[in-house]
Amino acid sequence: MLTALLVTVGAVVMPVAASGATGDVGVEGPSHSGTGTPTGTKRATSNLWFHDGLWWGNLWDTSSSDFHIFRFNPSTNSWVNTGVKTDTRSSTHHDVLWDGSTLHVASYRFVNDGLPAEPGFPTTMKRYSYNASSKTYTLLSSTQINNSKVEVLTIDKDSTGRVWATWQQGNRIYLNVTGTDGKTWGTPFAHPASRSSVSVDDTAALVAYGPGKMGLMWSRQVGDSTDGMYFSFHVDGASNTSWSTPVAAVSGQRSGDDHMNLKWLDSSGGRVFAAIKTSYTSSSQPLIQLLALNNSTSTWSAHTIATVAECPNRVIVLIDESTQRLRTFATYPKPSGTTNSGACTSSGGAIYEKSTPLSTISFTTSKTARIVDADQYVHNATSTKQNLNSSARGTANSGLLLLADVNATSRYWHYYDGSGGSGGGGGDTTAPTVTATSPTAGATGVVVTTNATGTFSEAMTASTITPSTFTLTAQGSTTPVPAAVTYSGNVATLNPSADLAAGTTYTATIKGGSSGVKDAAGNALASDKTWTFTTAAAGGGGGTPETVTLNATADSYVESGTTGTNYGTSTMLGVDASPVEVSYLKFDLSAYAGRTLESATLQLRSAGSGSVGTQNVKLVANDAWTETGITYSNRPTLGSSIGTLGPTSANANYSVPLTVSGVTGELGQQLSLGMDSTNSDGLDLNSREAGSTVAPKLVLTFR
């Protein structure tokens, strides 16, 4: 435990050499000396992910000679090494998947282009849990996918909780899949279709798309009219080898190559997009293309991103949901004014972006430089499997982060776009607001040990929240109270260095405008947010009681009979002993730090069935679970009971008194509750998806 603590506390900001050379674009990052494979090569894989309002990466750490989890700090435009290892092998490639609650890192030894798979080298998948309080990842398990060196391997997770993997082996497209626990792998098998017989130079990639399908794309380069890029899908829950008849997204000799990168836009009825490379050689022919699947008609269309004459290579695609744009990134020849400018070479060049509206896909010859090292070649751009700036995908206000490498100097380079806008504009231009304060405006009888907090409507730039932009001043004084100011989870907290004066009115101010607090996209709070409160008189703790009613910010239930299934969109919550059903609720108490709690009541409404049994309301220490990610397999542990419900009847309202001491310890942070039962007569409750009038609520009374 001491070692783990030292690793966490000793996280170091890696030195970053600012891009100061004439012609540089982007930022030079940490060294990756010691590995020749810092970001992979074939572009089907991803090395970055966005979670908890932060960007993360799987990067090589030169000092320890391991791959580690790094956290990106947008305020300093630099990487922070968290010290958590993902692989000790230097010559490995990786594919990283964040599923909303668990991090999956597939690591494989690789063979070079055109060489066959080589047995005796295990491919592993490590799973990590996340602690939102400490912002750290912890290893959950490490399992073996296959036992071969391969050229490329990718993973994705289906709606039943099973993780799939694909690669090329023995001139066939191979697959493997876990059980619904997401970690226990079966026996590798070849895709059953004849078109999955391919050349030694072909590869494959996976994409989960909806509703309820796993898509597989692979290249086929055998030298005849059947060449192309093929797509087949598996319906979630069907037998492992039950895959649809492959369809050629493009076909004909030289129409495909072994570079592909897949994304899914769920808000458009299941559209899948693939950025691919061809093998064409005539200058006017497409060398990289965007293939688009119309799920309703099962047909593909092809759109040229760049021609052979433009000399592009290693393309990836990202979907920005806020601006409804497709953003592609690839290596192109370096711009004028730099070393080796204009050279068309497979060694690298510079990373450029081309984008297009989703509504009308059309790429022009115009492109924008995103990463340029004026003196060296940049290559191998990588980013995330996730869609950008998507509330539904947990990436609201993510912006964009792109990682590449300069082999000659063994350095990472990155490009960070905090707004997520591209080309035709868009992105986050909305000013943040303060949605809640503590103490509330006008509160009286406030304890002198209180902290002041402000909750924001969106993620903020932490570096703008300081003792200069968040102040507390006593009435009649112009000097702010000495205090420490911190920011976490959209909440700014002002902690006075000493107790406040009794019987005194204080004014709290969160500064707006150009010199005030700003959101992650750089938008400023429109104007100062001010409010006042008065502390309790000396010797007294009175004051008028204040009652607040909070709606659940997340709720779901899990079931032992379907261990990998998520029920976050259900209108009901189940509590039962056979099969085991456990409900989870989350409430935001971040605005109530330092308050004195008099009572806490959980309000619930039964749905179509009551129960003769008793349901226990229990504290849940781990708040990292998400409404759309929690399953029976990854459910957090229930703690001590702080209330009971039952027996109950159908379609009735219930108020469950909660232990004050149990809830008090959660003030100033997220409160997670779980409900279980030892009775097999199950209870159905309305979830927040059933409507605000019947949604779970928490009623708190403060004095």
Could you tell me if 177 and 137 lie in one domain? yes
Could you tell me if 597 and 530 lie in one domain? no
Please say whether the beta carbons of 212 and 236 come within 8 A: yes
Could you tell me if 110 and 196 lie in one domain? yes
3-state secondary structure of 30: strand
pLDDT at 8 over 50: no
Distance CA 655, CA 387 (A): 40
pLDDT at 60: 96
Please say whether the beta carbons of 120 and 147 come within 8 A: yes
Is 427 part of any domain?
no
pLDDT at 420: 54
Q: Which residue matches tokens 């869609």?
A: 387
Find the helix or strand (DSSP H, E) in which 471 lies. strand 470-474
Could you tell me if 504 and 595 lie in one domain? no
- Of 521, 541, 561, the residue that ends a domain is 541
Cα dihedral 38, 416, 81, 128 sign: negative
Could you tell me if 46 and 171 lie in one domain? yes
Q: What is the pLDDT averaged over residues 320-328?
A: 90
Strands 213-220 and 683-686: unpaired
Residue type, 539: G
3-state secondary structure of 633: coil
CA nearest to 535, candidates 473, 444, 442: 444
pLDDT at 489: 62
Is 70 part of any domain?
yes
Is 533 part of any domain?
yes
Distance CA 674, CA 621 (A): 10
| Mean pLDDT computed over every residue of the chain | 90
Is 423 part of any domain?
no
CA nearest to 289, candidates 300, 305, 301: 305
Q: What is the 3-state secondary structure (H, E, C) of 59-93?
A: EEECCCCEEEEEEEECCCCEEEEEEEEEECCCCEE
Could you tell me if 294 and 358 lie in one domain? yes
CA nearest to 669, candidates 129, 53, 133: 133
Could you tell me if 185 and 334 lie in one domain? yes
CATH number at residue 440: 2.60.40.1220
Q: Which two tokens stand for residue 413?
A: 């380079």
CATH number at residue 660: 2.60.120
Is 305 part of any domain?
yes
Q: What is the pLDDT averaged over residues 405-410?
A: 95
Could you tell me if 186 and 51 lie in one domain? yes
3-state secondary structure of 470: strand
3-state secondary structure of 664: helix
- Per-residue model confidence as pLDDT tens digits over 224-272: 999 999 999 999 999 999 999 999 999 999 999 999 999 998 755 578 9
CA nearest to 326, candidates 289, 282, 281: 289
Distance CA 582, CA 605 (A): 16
Distance CA 314, CA 333 (A): 12
pLDDT at 428: 54
- Per-residue model confidence as pLDDT tens digits over 669-694: 899 999 999 998 899 999 998 888 88
What are the phi and psi torsion angles at 177 (to 5°)? -150, 145
Could you tell me if 563 and 536 lie in one domain? no
Could you tell me if 242 and 366 lie in one domain? yes
Q: Please provide the DSSP assignment of 670-685 as one string.
A: EEEEEEEES-SS-EEE
Alpha carbon separation from 90 to 107, 108, 109, 404 (Å, rounded): 11, 10, 9, 17
Which one has a higher pLDDT value, 522 or 469?
469
DSSP 410: T
CATH number at residue 84: 2.120.10.10
pLDDT at 324: 85
Q: How confident is the model at residue 541 (pLDDT cuts 50, 70, 90)?
A: low
3-state secondary structure of 653: strand
- Of 360, 391, 417, the residue that ends a domain is 417
- Per-residue model confidence as pLDDT tens digits over 366-390: 999 999 999 999 999 999 999 999 8
Give the HSE-up count for residue 545: Cα atoms under 13 Å, Cβ half-sphere: 9
Q: Which two tokens stand for residue 143?
A: 């399992």
The predicted model scores a pTM of: 0.61
Could you tell me if 381 and 239 lie in one domain? yes
pLDDT at 95 over 60: yes
- Per-residue model confidence as pLDDT tens digits over 481-538: 999 998 876 788 999 999 999 999 999 999 999 889 987 667 889 999 999 999 888 7
Is 106 part of any domain?
yes
Q: What is the pLDDT averaged over residues 639-667?
A: 91
CA dihedral 482, 486, 491, 496 (to 10 degrees): -20
Distance CA 107, CA 35 (A): 14
Q: Which residue matches tokens 């009175």?
A: 542
Alpha carbon separation from 139 to 13, 103, 261 (Å, rounded): 22, 9, 28
Q: How confident is the model at residue 447 (pLDDT cuts 50, 70, 90)?
A: confident
Q: How many domains are there within the chain?
A: 3
pLDDT at 235: 94
Q: Which two tokens stand for residue 618?
A: 């229990």
First to last CA, the chain: 40
Distance CA 656, CA 313 (A): 61
What does the radius of gyration of the chain's CA atoms come to, in whole angstroms? 27
Q: Which two tokens stand for residue 451?
A: 């902290």
Q: Give the list of residues 6+ apart from residue 48 with CB closer than 8 angstroms, or none.
A: 55, 56, 57, 58, 96, 382, 383, 384, 401, 403
Expressed as residue numbers, the domain containing 94 is 2-417
Q: Taking the CB of residue 633, how many other CB atoms lie within 10 A of it? A: 19
- Per-residue model confidence as pLDDT tens digits over 586-603: 999 988 887 888 899 999
Is 428 part of any domain?
no
- Per-residue model confidence as pLDDT tens digits over 607-636: 877 899 999 999 999 999 999 999 999 999
- Of 488, 512, 541, the residue that ends a domain is 541
Give the HSE-up count for residue 243: Cα atoms under 13 Å, Cβ half-sphere: 25
Is 426 part of any domain?
no
**CB burial readout 534-548, b (16+ within 10 A) else e:** bbbeeeeeebeebeb
Could you tell me if 291 and 406 lie in one domain? yes
pLDDT at 571: 86
pLDDT at 268: 55
